[in-house]
Amino acid sequence: MLDIAMLQSVAEQMMEAAQVMAGGKSFPVKRTSSKRLKTVRFEVNGRAYQAIEQNPDKPSRWGQLARAGHRVVQFRDIETGKYVAVAVDDDVREYAKRRS
């Protein structure tokens, strides 16, 4: 189970500041090399995640929301490489786990 409040806090902080506080630690906000999107790697309860600002050029519904001026941040589990949640403005949604 993800800490939704923590993810919301990370999304808000990364769009406003150069550092993100998560779990009592500070993590630097960086920019991707190609599109210059904001990104930050952070840890919650010993698990590593990456928050990535949504690319507004993408044709997905998340890209459409970013183009419309919404703050969209995707969260990826570093270990599995899977996207686990998305934050749109102040609303965080955890992606449903698919059964194999």
Mean pLDDT, to the nearest integer, of 14-37? 92
Q: Are 52 and 73 in contact (CB under 8 A)?
A: yes
The pLDDT value recorded for residue 46 is 86
If one counts the domains in the chain, the total is 1
Asked whether residue 62 is assigned to any structural domain, the reply reads yes
* 99 band by pLDDT with thresholds 50, 70 and 90: low
Report residue 16's pLDDT band, with 50, 70 and 90 as the boundaries. Answer: very high
The answer to whether residue 75 is domain-embedded is yes
The pLDDT score that the predictor gives to residue 98 is 65
- Is residue 99 assigned to a domain? no
Q: Taking CA 33 as the corner, what is the angle to CA 14 and CA 65, rounded to the nearest 5 degrees?
A: 50
Q: What is the Cα gyration radius of the chain?
A: 13
Confidence check: pLDDT of 56 > 70? yes
- 67 is in which domain, residue-wise? 4-94
> Does a structural domain hold residue 100?
no
pLDDT of residue 2: 84
Rounded to two decimals, what is the model's pTM? 0.90
